[in-house]
């Protein structure tokens, strides 16, 4: 989580949030370096405030039993004094985000299953197909997401993460979550107000956001051409071949609330897969 003078950045994993943090740090450092001697003196004796910039590492409240601190702070973890600021985050095509998580392979070392469970459910681990990876995520959801999701609720991990990140009372929403909620627009009452940038157009979207917040063109011009940061290298020659009708159907079914929320924000995505696969 990054907090500036007038906005807060929340970092949804595997969306490009590292890029946003990197760019904002460069801008902040440049602003500090360009201060006049007089401004530095006044700030040193606390007669003028320095530009506010804080990167917070907060307790990981998205996984049950986690003891680590995380850069992926949630809306409920924004300090009260900053809660009234504009909140911005990055969202990504859920299909692409699933493939990126699959190929990043962080789950090889960080998963909730015991050795017995791995042998029983995923004997080929860690060499999993995309379909097997979805099973691992379903098991992850039942093991580590808080509070426990009702067993009969057909919801995907991305939707649960989104609720945890951006809802005003995610615990209460998840405790009462049912299939009727997933098929409704009740999220409109429960979700915080968030400005979303798109991973697919992140350079342009971030540049536009900063310009709208009053940043001078000469300090943000570099954003448009800035290289990607920590991009996951694809392990598949053709990602489209990873998709089957069954996998697409599962993603569309279990993440249906997420797709509806994104569509409410003007974001829709084409069905992935090989050319000729039914839409």
> Tens place of pLDDT for every residue, the chain, 279 residues?
999 999 999 999 999 999 999 999 999 989 888 755 554 544 454 544 557 899 999 999 888 777 788 888 999 999 999 999 999 999 999 999 999 999 999 899 888 888 999 999 999 999 999 999 999 999 888 887 776 788 889 999 999 999 999 999 999 999 999 999 999 999 999 999 999 999 999 999 999 999 999 999 999 999 999 998 876 665 666 788 899 999 999 999 999 999 999 999 999 999 997 654 655
Task: Give pLDDT, residue 229.
Answer: 84
Q: 273 with 240: CB under 8 angstroms?
A: yes
The tokens describing 257, both together, are 């609330």
Side by side, the strands of the sheet bearing 86-91 are 53-55, 2-4, 7-10, 86-91, 195-198
Task: Pick the closest to residue 221 from 240, 208, 212 (CA basis).
Answer: 208
Task: Give pLDDT, residue 196.
Answer: 97
Task: Give pLDDT, residue 42.
Answer: 47
Task: Give pLDDT, residue 237.
Answer: 65
Q: Which CATH number fits domain 2-264: 3.40.50, 3.30.450, 3.30.200, 3.40.960?
A: 3.40.50
Task: Give pLDDT, residue 66.
Answer: 76
């Amino acid at each position: 989580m990054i907090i500036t003078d007038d906005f807060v950045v929340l970092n949804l994993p595997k969306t490009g949030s590292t890029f946003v943090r990197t760019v904002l740090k460069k801008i902040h450092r440049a602003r500090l370096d360009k201060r006049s001697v007089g401004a530095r003196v006044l700030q040193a004796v606390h007669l003028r405030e320095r530009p506010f910039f804080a990167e917070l590492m907060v307790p990981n409240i998205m996984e049950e039993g986690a003891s680590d601190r995380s850069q992926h702070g949630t809306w409920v973890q924004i300090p009260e004094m900053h809660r009234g600021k504009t909140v911005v985050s990055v969202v990504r095509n859920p299909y692409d985000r699933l493939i990126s998580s699959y190929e990043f392979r962080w789950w090889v070392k960080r998963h909730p299953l015991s050795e017995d469970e791995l042998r029983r459910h995923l004997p080929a681990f860690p060499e999993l197909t995309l379909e097997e990876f979805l099973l691992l995520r379903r098991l992850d959801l039942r093991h580590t997401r808080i509070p426990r999701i009702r067993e009969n609720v057909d919801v995907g991990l991305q939707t649960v993460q989104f609720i945890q990140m951006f809802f005003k009372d995610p615990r209460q929403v998840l405790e009462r979550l049912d299939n009727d909620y997933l098929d409704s627009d009740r999220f409109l009452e429960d979700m915080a107000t968030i400005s979303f940038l798109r991973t697919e157009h992140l350079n342009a979207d971030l540049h536009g956001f900063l310009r709208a917040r009053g940043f001078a063109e000469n300090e943000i011009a570099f954003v448009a051409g800035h290289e990607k940061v920590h991009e996951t290298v694809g392990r598949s020659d053709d990602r489209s071949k990873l998709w089957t009708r069954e996998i697409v159907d599962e993603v569309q079914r279990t993440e249906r609330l997420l797709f509806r929320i994104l569509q409410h924000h003007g974001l829709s995505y084409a069905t992935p897969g090989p050319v000729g696969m039914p839409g």
